[in-house]
Amino acid sequence: MKLNTKIRYGLRTVIEIANSDDPNGVLQKDIALKQNISVKYLDSIISSLKLKGIIANARGRGSGYRLTRAAEEISVLDVYTAFEPITVVECIENKNFCDQACDCVSRDYWIEFRQNYTELLAKKSLAQIISDKATKNNLKN
């Protein structure tokens, strides 16, 4: 299973914003520079994150982006679903997709897989990711 680039860059973007304590937010050009993402591509990522309500513009001219909730309240699932739904196999979402959906031996497994995957994404917050990385860095030193 491979996550698309927007999900991965979206997570890096919100972590970059979460790591900032600047009341004016983080400028898009600074995110692009620190995360090595083109400004044009970052436009699309930021648009999706804003639409999902994860980030917003800080107030005032020349301001950047800030989280709309505490980092403890934003999960990886929130970021993931800003870009696409959790779709493991099409027949789970749409029974009409396959003539064998009702009798399919593996369908229940895929439903369980999706549930477990969703729970895994939901239980990890931005704050936990940041904390885990800080702990790992401290152990190295």
* In-domain check, residue 141: no
* In-domain check, residue 47: yes
Give the pLDDT band (50/70/90) at residue 93: confident
* In-domain check, residue 12: yes
Residue 95 has pLDDT above 80, yes or no: no
The model's pTM: 0.88
The conformation of residue 125, written as its DSSP 8-state character, comes to B
Q: Which CATH number belongs to the domain containing residue 132 in this structure?
A: 1.10.10.10
What pLDDT, in 10s, does the model give residues 33-60?
A: 999 999 999 999 999 999 999 999 988 7
Q: Average of pLDDT values for 81-102?
A: 80
SS3 of the chain: helix, strand, coil, percent, to 5: 60, 5, 35
The whole domain housing 66 covers: 5-136
CA 12, distance to chain mean position in Å, is 8
Residue 70 has pLDDT above 80, yes or no: yes
